[in-house]
Homo-oligomer: A and B are copies of this chain.
Amino acid sequence: MPQGQPSVVPDDGLTTRQRRNRPLVVVHTGTGKGKSTAAFGLALRAWNQGWPIGVFQFVKSAKWRVGEERALRVLGDSGEGGSVAWHKMGEGWSWVQRSIATSEDAAREGWEQVKRDLAAETYRLYVLDEFAYPMHWGWVDTDEVVSVLRDRPGTQHVVITGRNAPAALLDAADLVTEMGKVKHPMDAGQKGQRGIEW
């Protein structure tokens, strides 16, 4: 739904305009499909608004999200909407010159860069793909993430995806969707296929 009537009007001293443009923390979690695809769908709207978009893929394999990456790079290079910067943990993060020993270290390096970019207001939409995992595993401190997000300057929207998003993150988020698995072809013995899974 593009626009909507809020069910309550809060007594927070803000104008409707201020409230409307409040920066959001969005979380897509749950065991079903669509967590990341919906985040990249949101990126299409941000691109259409001309916003700079930063994608941080907190996954091991550099092959993941190849379709989304190519599409968003073509959009970012088209000159018609916002810019797109795509950062991959699976390739060792472009800003890290030395080799990174473990996935845990790699996830921490990714988060450190996100913190620097939030402080510098580099992007207006951040897609932190699969970032729920390093928090769930304790590699990145959830309380620190919540604190950094709460205190971030300007109007920066942050979308975080992944199963097992920690409760403290859900508490701090503005919008949380749980993608529930009702039925999946792999349950019926089907393997993933191109164009659908990647």
Which A residues are within 8 Å of any B CB, using their own CB? 1-10, 12, 16, 19-22, 24, 26, 28, 30, 32-42, 44-49, 51, 61, 63-64, 66-68, 70-72, 74-75, 78, 80-81, 124-125, 157, 170, 173-198
How distant is the Cα of A196 from the Cα of B39 in the complex, in angstroms?
Answer: 10
Least Cβ distance of A123 to chain B in Å?
Answer: 12
Question: Ordered nearest first, which 4 A-B pairs have the shortest CB separation?
Answer: A37-B41, A48-B67, A34-B38, A45-B67
How distant is the Cα of A25 from the Cα of B184 in the complex, in angstroms?
Answer: 11
Contact A178 B176 (CB under 8 A): no
User: Among B4, B32, B41, B67, which residue has its beta carbon within 8 angstroms of that of A39?
Assistant: B41
Chain B's closest residue to A32 (CB) is: B177
Contact A7 B187 (CB under 8 A): yes
Tell me the number of copies of this protein.
Answer: 2
A34-B41, A37-B44, A48-B68 given. 16 additional CB < 8 A pairs? A2-B197, A4-B191, A22-B193, A24-B193, A38-B38, A41-B41, A45-B196, A45-B197, A49-B194, A51-B195, A70-B81, A124-B195, A173-B183, A174-B185, A174-B190, A178-B182
User: Among B19, B63, B188, which residue has its beta carbon within 8 angstroms of that of A8?
Assistant: B188
CB within 8 Å for A10 and B44 given contacts A34-B179, A170-B183: no
How distant is the Cα of A44 from the Cα of B197 in the complex, in angstroms?
Answer: 11
Question: CB-CB < 8 A to A193: which residues of B?
Answer: 20-22, 24
